[in-house]
Amino acid sequence: MGTHRRPKPPSRTRIATLGIAAGAVSLLPTQSQAAPKPTMDEVRKQVEKLYEEAEAPTEEYNAIREEQKKLQREADRGQDRIARKQEEVNELRAKIGPLATAQYRSGGIDPSVQLFLSGDPDDYLDKAQMMGRTSDRQADALRAMQSKQRELTQDRAAVTKRLKSLEETRAKAAETKDEVQGKLAEARKLLNSLTVQQRAKMEADQERDDAATGASDTAASYNGPASGRAKAALDFAYAQLGKPYEWGSTGPNSFDCSGLTGASWRAAGVSLPRTVQQQYDAGRKVAKSDLQPGDIIYWYNSTQHNGMYVGNGKAIHAPRTGKNVEIVPLDSMPFFAASRP
């Protein structure tokens, strides 16, 4: 997915405290170092920048986690196939009779079976039957066992490859998770550098900005013109108003942006892929002039942030760390595209 940086957001965006402890922890230089103390506005801008920088790796993490789940499912299915085929091989060995007995007695494979497995099975069996060294029943069993052994070898190689890829994705997910958490931890430290009074003023500024732009995370119910699945998706989304944004989350107590859109449409019986980019690729594109409630809105670009159109020039979305699911004017962020599930 892309790593585009989005433009500076409008001033309405508020900064939340992320559950900061009541006591302020000073991270600023001591007076003896004579370093300038950042102003509250500077802290606000730095924190906002860190939150923005966390968005791209958040979506990357979501994509990696989806790949990880897919690889795990494939590996599990492969191991189930191996177990079933091993049972079939064991049953075939029992049918071979004396050859199988010799194998278990000697602790190795009977020379004739070894020749069969390592050479041309058809050629071996033809000659063995001509010489009376094996019965038709044994020949059929040997052919079947050779085929299953080959399948076992292929399946084991495939599972080994899947497991290696799975470990690589796990490592990549851990790195991306560390990147996101590092940025969020830095933002928390910056906010902790403010006094209690400064943080209170910042909260007041947030509320003022939201009131000025029409943003609201107050509980409400959808009562617009949508019907059918679109209405079901919006009913679900409205029920999440006020719940916190949390990176990598798909609910039920918190959401990231694509987690909210996916969960909302899933409540309507429509399965969407996990990330912003995947949802953009999967949906049927609609023009801004043709927007209908329930359509998915993409702001900035195709990879970074999305929400759902609710009608009357407004959208619902999970904004970013420190904020709650809210309704905002559609044009409070640069409109990029829209799609209809």
Query: Which active-site residues does the annotation give?
Result: 257, 305, 317
> What is the spatial distance between Cα 165 and Cα 145, in angstroms, rounded to a whole number?
30
> What is the spatial distance between Cα 100 and Cα 118, in angstroms, rounded to a whole number?
17
Q: Taking each helix axis from N to C terminus, what angle separates 98-106 and 40-96, rounded to the nearest 10 degrees?
A: 120
> What is the spatial distance between Cα 332 and Cα 13, in angstroms, rounded to a whole number?
10
Query: Which residue, chain included where needed, has tokens 């300038």?
Result: 36
| Contact between 258 and 279 (Cβ < 8 Å) | yes
Distances, alpha carbon 57 to alpha carbons 28, 53, 176, 178, in Å: 28, 8, 6, 10
Pairing between β-strand 314-317 and β-strand 335-340 as defined by DSSP bridges: unpaired
Residues 6+ apart with CB under 8 A from 288: 335, 338
Query: Which residue, chain included where needed, has tokens 């370093």?
Result: 35
AA letter at 20: I
> What is the spatial distance between Cα 200 and Cα 209, in angstroms, rounded to a whole number?
14
H or E segment to which residue 275 belongs: none
Q: What is the dihedral of CA 278, 283, 285, 291, to 10 degrees?
A: -110
